[in-house]
Amino acid sequence: MIKITSELFGEIQVPLGDYEYSRDIWGSIDNHLDINVFDNGGGVQATIYPVKDKQINTEHEVEHITSENIEIINLFQSNYYEQT
């Protein structure tokens, strides 16, 4: 899971998907917003874009989020699934 703290939307959780391999994933926040999480070589960043008529408008950013507000959580390496 990728945990993102947005100034506009609070905490956003995005499934990890194939991020560890591709370093670039897209996810939906709702029907009107999509988020792109990517590594630009200088750290993880995220950008939220508007969606209209099922089309992502990458020419207009709703919010850009820097690495200070993004946490990559690998649930299999954490105690989250630990069973006794």
H/E stretch holding 51 = strand 44-52
| Number of separate helices (H) and strands (E) present in the chain | 1, 8
Q: Which domain holds residue 28?
A: 2-78
User: What pTM value is reported for the model?
Assistant: 0.83
Per-residue pLDDT of the chain (84 residues; tens, 9 = 90+): 899 999 999 999 998 888 888 899 999 999 999 999 999 888 999 999 999 999 999 999 999 999 999 998 876 554 444 443
Does 15 map to a domain? yes
Does 84 map to a domain? no
Does 11 map to a domain? yes
Single out the residue of 27, 9, 25 nearest to residue 65, CA to CA.
Answer: 9
Contact 34, 56 (CB under 8 A): yes
DSSP single-letter state for residue 29: E
Does 43 map to a domain? yes
What integer pLDDT is reported at residue 75 of this predicted model? Answer: 60
